[in-house]
Amino acid sequence: MALQSPSLDVGGAILVKPTPTSAGRGYWQSVGRRLRRDPVTLICAAILILLVLASIAAPYLYLADPYKTSMLRRLYPLGSPNHWLGTDELGRDMFARLIYGGRLSLFMGVTPVVCALLIGGSLGILAGFVGGKTNMAIMRIMDVFYAFPSVLLAISLSGAMGAGTENTLLSLTLVFIPPICRVSESVTTQVRGFDFVDAAKASGASAFTIVRVHVLGNVLGPILVYATSLISVAIILAAGLSFLGLGVKPPEPEWGLMLNTLRQAIYVNPVLAALPGVMIFITSICFNLMSDGLRAAMDVKA
Amino acid sequence: MLLYALRRLIYLIPVAFGVSLLVFALVHLAPGDPISAIVPPDAPKEVVDKLKEYYGFDQPLPVQYLRWLGVTLTGDLGTSIGTGRSVAAEVGSAFGNTIILAIAATSLAFTLAVILGTAAAYAKSRVVDRLVTMISLIGVSVPHFWLAIVLVIIFAVELGVLPPMGIGPENSTGWTFDRAHLAHMVLPTIALSVIPLGVVTRTVRSTVKETLSMEFVTALQAKGMRDSRILFHVLKNAAPTCLAVMGLQAGNLIGGSILIETVFAWPGTGFLLNSAIFRRDLPILQGTTLVLAGFFMLLNLTVDIIQTMVDPRIKRG
């Protein structure tokens, strides 16, 4: 299902190849080596790190005040003196707002995926490892969420709960739990069938030890790769909710919200009106490429 | 086959039950009690209590749910708070407009995706493959509501060749087949098709590529079969996987058209849902969500059944 989601769908099943846990370090070293030789992934990672650092350090970067409005300086075009990316519909400096906007936009894209990874991942591993009735109960509940197109679910939930950052985070987390849970469940079920799990059981290892050592070591990679591929979807969806007026409230700078408020300016200064979308686009494309690189480096078959 | 379809249908019942619970819960997720959305904040307490009794909000939740479910199952989705019209009528007319847009967008996206994906899988030159991979990457990465605005800026504002919003000329609310309505469809169709285009192109490319490396293809080539005939066999084998992804994308497109419909003021379900949210029109919110989720479930079921028909290897228990 995707977000239109965009693409939350679990297309084909993910195949797990057992990685010897004793040689765990060797595996991660080879992943690191492969990543270092992948220029596209490195460039994307660099851009993303730059964006994150810029938004964290925004208050110390000598930027203009992103909240300071000016009726006289509204909708300055790009390249104006003192405002080299122009000003928005209320005369606020665009460059400062785009940099500050990254704080909320990135936060609201990454946080739901991390929360969903913790909750959905645990539920999925539990369902896959325990199996039986527990599996049935958990997966049937997930099926209910799968009956909604993800964008619809996010919008209906935020719409009912009302606008606001916390509500958006909550509804997005709910949207991402089912797909992550499904992937976790399917890879865990596969790993449970491997001989080394039986061997560990026979040697008297506790269920906790088996999960910690044998299962997690083998399923974490595929689950993580899948979760990173959801971040770009989450960023677009979070921006979309703010764009509809269901997420961040004005006057906070956030890319989706800026795109919405600047819509009235498309007849006056069209290039300016499109700028926040460029930021979303760059971020989401980098996350997608990085996720692809990670998948290749970790040798996860999608 | 029929047995499988029937079993799937029965399996849908518990899911549908869960969906109805979730949709019912939407109203109670709303801050404050549901009555506060209809009455002014300074309404006397007696009036509020009367209304609560009238709508049944004074009953315990399970009773409210069963009552609501009973009424809903008869096809009565309630009355819109904003317009006073029945929710079923409002959602029904909007749904038609959404479907028309969805059909146009999916046809465009899937046709292009199959052509591009197959071309990339067959391509000997890396350029073609790279190009197609890039197109699908852009498709899944672009914020489609932003693309919609960019399209409006280019084709409506700068060039002035296509209308920027609406379904047709002069407050038209329904779709008819004529030049003006078709012109209004062009931009929303393109904006809506980018995501499925990206996702499906990716799937077609990888599936066809995988099929091409199978032994039966080599056998057919050795036998001297014409390439065009081999292509037919390859596509037939790649079809089930691609169909599954296409079905999901079609359903998501209908749910996801909310943003595009808002940008273009297209009078479909998404536009209706969005305006209902801002008028706090909870019956419309509930009704639209329920209808769209129901449609999505049926679509998924249909895709599943078609898949088993196309691919006899799939045996489902």
Q: What value of ipTM does the predicted structure carry?
A: 0.86
Closest CA to B283 of B3, B84, B135: B84
Q: Which residues, 6+ apart, have CB-to-CB distance to B118 below 8 Å?
A: B204, B205, B208, B231, B235
From the number of C-beta atoms within 10 Å of its C-beta (0-12, 13-18, 19+), residue B223 rates as: exposed
- Reported confidence tier of residue B75, pLDDT bands at 50, 70, 90: confident
The pLDDT score that the predictor gives to residue B172 is 66
Q: Is the dihedral of CA A169, A171, A175, A177 positive or negative?
A: positive
Tell me whether A7 touches chain B (CB under 8 Å).
yes
Q: Number of residue pairs across A and B with CB atoms under 8 Å?
A: 177
Identify which of A9, A155, A236 has the shortest CB distance to residue B143. A236
- Average pLDDT in chain A: 84
Q: Flag the least confident range among B49-53, B111-115, B186-190.
A: B49-53
Mean predicted confidence (pLDDT) in B21-39: 75
Q: Which two tokens stand for residue B308?
A: 């088993």
Tell me whether B299 touches chain A (CB under 8 Å).
no
SS3 readout for B127-178: HHHHHHHHHHHHHHHCCHHHHHHHHHHHHHHHCCCCCCCCCCCCCCCCCCCC
Of B254 and A112, the one with more pLDDT: A112
Considering only residues 9 to 38 of chain A, which have any Cβ-Cβ distance to chain B shorter than 8 Å? Answer: 9, 11-12
Q: Is residue A22 scored above 60 in pLDDT?
A: no
The pLDDT score that the predictor gives to residue B27 is 80
CB contact under 8 A, B143 and A288: no
Q: Which residues, 6+ apart, have CB-to-CB distance to B157 below 8 Å?
A: A266, A267, A270, B164
Tell me whether B31 touches chain A (CB under 8 Å).
yes
CB contact under 8 A, B259 and A240: yes
Q: Please name the fold of domain B87-310.
A: MetI-like fold (1.10.3720)
Considering only residues 75 to 104 of chain A, which have any Cβ-Cβ distance to chain B shorter than 8 Å? Answer: none
The pLDDT score that the predictor gives to residue A12 is 45
Global pTM value: 0.87
Q: Flag the least confident range among A61-65, A91-95, B156-160.
A: A61-65
pLDDT (tens digit, 9 = 90+) per residue, B222-275?
988 888 888 999 988 888 889 888 988 898 888 778 899 999 988 889 889 988
- Reported confidence tier of residue A182, pLDDT bands at 50, 70, 90: very high
Q: Which amino acid is at B302?
A: T
The pLDDT score that the predictor gives to residue A81 is 77
Considering only residues 248 to 277 of chain B, which have any Cβ-Cβ distance to chain A shorter than 8 Å? Answer: 248-249, 251-256, 258-259, 262-263, 273-274, 276-277
Q: How close does chain B come to A269, measured CA to CA in Å? A: 10
Tell me what percent of the residues of chain A surpass a pLDDT of 70: 91
Contacting residues of A for B105, CB less than 8 Å apart = none
Q: Flag the least confident range among A18-27, A147-156, A226-235, B276-285.
A: A18-27
Tell me what percent of the residues of chain B surpass a pLDDT of 90: 26
Contacting residues of A for B137, CB less than 8 Å apart = 285, 288-289
In chain B, the residue whose alpha carbon lies closest to the alpha carbon of A265 is: B153
**Nearest 5°: CA angle at B124, between B120 and B127?**
65
SS3 A88: coil
- C-alpha distances out from residue A110 to A20, A80, A270, A289, B276, Å: 31, 34, 30, 16, 29
Mean predicted confidence (pLDDT) in A170-188: 93
pLDDT (tens digit, 9 = 90+) per residue, A114-157?
999 999 999 999 999 998 899 999 999 998 988 888 889 999 99
The pLDDT score that the predictor gives to residue B187 is 93
Q: Is residue A10 scored above 70 in pLDDT?
A: no
Q: Which two tokens stand for residue A57?
A: 């350090």
Q: Which two tokens stand for residue A22?
A: 């004793």
Q: Which two tokens stand for residue B9?
A: 């249908």
Q: Flag the least confident range among A74-78, A129-133, A233-237, B273-277.
A: A74-78
- Average pLDDT in chain B: 85
Q: How close does chain B come to A202, measured CA to CA in Å? A: 31
pLDDT (tens digit, 9 = 90+) per residue, B109-138?
999 999 999 999 888 778 888 899 899 999
